Structure 1
């Protein structure tokens, strides 16, 4: 009696996030469901004189006599088998078809479209059956092939875009995709010389820097000149001139730029010979200029006693109420000099017993910028009490009065001091 049992189980087995129909197990390497050989994995699957024959998604229990011998037609069976009846003309197992030479050939269910795979699945023919699987980029969930979101698993180093059945990697600005289509490498933007001056490559970007005297513009790549002169009015002593990437200091006529590049130093035209004085004149240098002094001329009743002194003799009646001597002196003064300031010293050269001396400004102090401060019995100092703005020429008559009550004597001497006030405060 021919007996065969066919078991089809409908429960679902879990497998690392994948589910396969009963009779199949998920292969993580192949990423698909493969047939389970129940004849090997289940103990005593067929009882009695039945032999287990594995099938795609199940198994058959076939009598050993039928399994070992060719099949011969037999009379009608009195007992109805519990498995699908095999046609009497069939000599092959399920999944095979008989050839003319009597051999059994595998039926390609995928080609004949006799499989039962879901439309989302791919049919893979096997010996005696077939397997339903999914294409790359999909996995089997609940009998359906669903897209794998590769972006969730960090397939891309930077940016990832999931597409049906696959994914696409891209990079942030400043990077390019490597040949592996997954990782990114930094782009050296400085090779394209994007900066007008200097370029410094950074990871994923770059930075521009500027030469000294320039600053980075708002576009981050070009450099514009810094106007150093606008930073401070004290950058140069006189005037600041901005130049591309730097600045320069200039001085007024009569001065030159000092070694520090900022200060102004007086040019001594008398020493350099850069003056217009004649041989009869004396060149006198002052801050920012010079003047030519004419030879001394003493007006009567004065007579010349030296190149800068006139004297009126006591024997001359015309000299009775006049200063005994007039001494001509010259000095320079910076415009706006801070006050108070001692600027000139006056002292008696001849001392008489019982005499005392009075020092005063006799003339020329119309603006009251000066006063005399007596420092001892025989000396006094000329003090600048108010700032004077130049250019200006001031002539002061500084008088020293000699008084001797013992011999009833009173006389005076004059220092005619010419002060050349410069135009600038340096």
Structure 2
């Protein structure tokens, strides 16, 4: 279609050039026309010239006709250009629709990788698409360690971490149930067979036989990684309980949250709302708001917190002498006051709402929030706390000519929800011009990560 329009435009341009050439020829012929009574020699020359085709000045178009023709050509070019633009827009719409349909087909086909089922347990669920869930159960006599449900996220990764099944009342690395056979009198039999020395030869057992070598009358016994040598004749390897050696709350701890000992190793688990980090020990928060894992309504705002989320609904306050209207999802403005209504003018001009998330026992003092004035009408600007719960945990300081800072002065142990109201007052010769209130809600997590 584009080539067709270009051809039409080229034809129109050719016609325009032809008309201009014709006008030029006519003009030149008119300028070179002979006088009314030429000499005889000139007449003979003129007669010979008349034998060849010439252009009659009377047949040339006039200037108004030529201008009219030019206008028609201009209109034709404008029509062709509009047709070309319309075709281009139509082609773009078709390409966009094709792209959207291709993306939709691709999204329908993507899914998370097939999750493994825990040892001594099973997995429920056969659909692994985005937004679908799988559930885990353990066999009788075993308890589930980790999340019972995992969700396929839009990042094509499963939420939470892979659970495991642990036997009830597991003895761990205890040797109470181990009864080794009587040692042989021969010095060359320092290592007992697995069938005689251990109740179970499974590679996942907490007690295993040692690996002994004999050379020149001496015996050297070793264990696998994660086990230590023990027994009267060094013929036993018992599991090292890393979780017991490095408990929580001490330097060099293995897991940030929960440590589960396994034969020869250990495994870290995180609470609900967290994912195990790449290092296998730390916990990272899951953003339920971004991943659309929340149940907030359309009239609520989802606020991500450490280990969860909060559904908040911002409502303008009802005051006796002042009315407010919501001008944005997080801001309310006061309606104009009646002339002479001092009680109304004393009410805040605007109220802003902000929500913050923090971990438990965060160190203090710490800057939480800053309030600034875009412009100052009066000669004085004051900042202070207007009220709210948890007043003893907060303080407001002046940090600039037009800026006030909300500070956390004492640590807060979670879980907790606190509020602070920062008031900014504008005065002119000690006369109040306006009050602006900022309500800060703080969601404190139950954990320190």
TM-score (norm 1): 0.52
Task: Show the counterpart of 1:305.
Answer: 327
Q: Which residue does the alignment assign to 2:238?
A: 224
Question: What is the Cα deviation at residue 356 of structure 1?
Answer: 2.3
CA distance in 2, matches of 1:313, 1:246: 66
The separation in 2 between residues aligned to 1:248 and 1:280, in whole angstroms, is 42
Q: Does 1:246 align with 2:270?
A: no
Q: CA deviation at 1:242?
A: 1.0
Partner secondary structure for residue 337 of structure 1: coil
3-state DSSP of counterpart to 1:320: helix
**Residue deviations 1:153-175, cap 9 Å, x none?**
xxxxxxxxxxxxxxxxxxx965x
Answer yes or no: is the 8 Å Cα contact 1:190–1:201 preserved in 2: no
User: What does residue range 161-200 of structure 1 map to in structure 2 within 5 Å?
Assistant: 196-200=209-213
Runs of at least 5 residues in structure 1 that lack an aligned partner in the other structure = 1-171, 175-186
Partner of 1:273: 292
Corresponding residue for 1:395? 419
Query: Partner of 2:299: helix, strand, or coil?
Result: coil
**Deviation of residue 292 (structure 1)?**
0.9
Sort the Cα spacing of 1:382 and 1:355 in 2 relative to 1 into closer, same or farther, 3 A: same
2: CA distance, partners of 1:265 / 1:308? 28
Name the CA distance, whole Å, in 1 between partners of 2:361 and 2:351.
29
What secondary structure, in the 3-state scheme, does the structure 1 residue paired with 2:346 have?
A: coil
Q: Deviations over 1:250-292 (max 9, x none)?
A: 1111111111111111111112222221233221101111011
Q: Distance in 2 between matches of 1:192 and 1:239?
A: 37
Evaluate the alpha carbon distance shift between residue 423 and residue 228 of structure 1 in structure 2; reply closer, same or farther with a 3 A threshold: same
| Corresponding residue for residue 382 of structure 1 | 406
Q: Which has the larger strand fraction?
A: 1
> What residue number does 1:142 align with?
none
Change (3 A) 1:310 1:357: same
Cα gap change, 1:203/1:329 in structure 2, threshold over 3 Å: closer, same or farther? same
List aligned pairs for 1:116-195, cutoff 5 A. Answer: none
- Residues of 1 paired with 2:278 and 2:265: CA distance? 17
In 2, Cα distance between equivalents of 1:286 and 1:198: 51
* Contact 2:391 2:420 survives alignment (8 Å): no
Q: How does 1:9-408 map to 2 (within 5 A)?
A: 196-219=209-232, 220-232=234-246, 233=248, 234-299=253-318, 301-316=323-338, 317=341, 319-352=344-377, 354-405=378-429, 408=431
1:399 touches 1:412 (CA, 8 Å); kept in 2?
yes
Residues in 1 aligned to 2:225 and 2:396: alpha-carbon distance in whole angstroms = 54
Instruction: Report the alpha carbon displacement of residue 418 of structure 1 after superposing the two structures with TM.
Output: 0.8
Distance in 2 between residues matched to 1:274 and 1:365, nearest whole Å: 30
Q: Which of the pair is proportionally richer in helix?
A: 2
- Are the aligned partners of 1:356 and 1:378 in contact in 2 as well (CA < 8 Å)? no
User: Relative to 1, partners in 2 of residues 1:374 and 1:242: Cα closer, same or farther, differing over 3 Å?
Assistant: same
Larger-gyration structure (1/2): 1
CA distance in 1, matches of 2:427, 2:391: 29
Pair 287,192 (structure 1): closer, same or farther in 2 beyond 3 Å: closer
Q: CA 1:330/1:403 → structure 2, altered by over 3 Å: closer, same or farther?
A: same
* Shift in alpha-carbon separation, 1:304–1:334, aligned structure 2, 3 A: same
Cross-structure match for 2:38? none
Alignment counterpart, residue 414 of structure 1, candidates 426, 437, 443: 437
Q: Structure 2: how far apart are the matches of 1:290 and 1:375?
A: 32
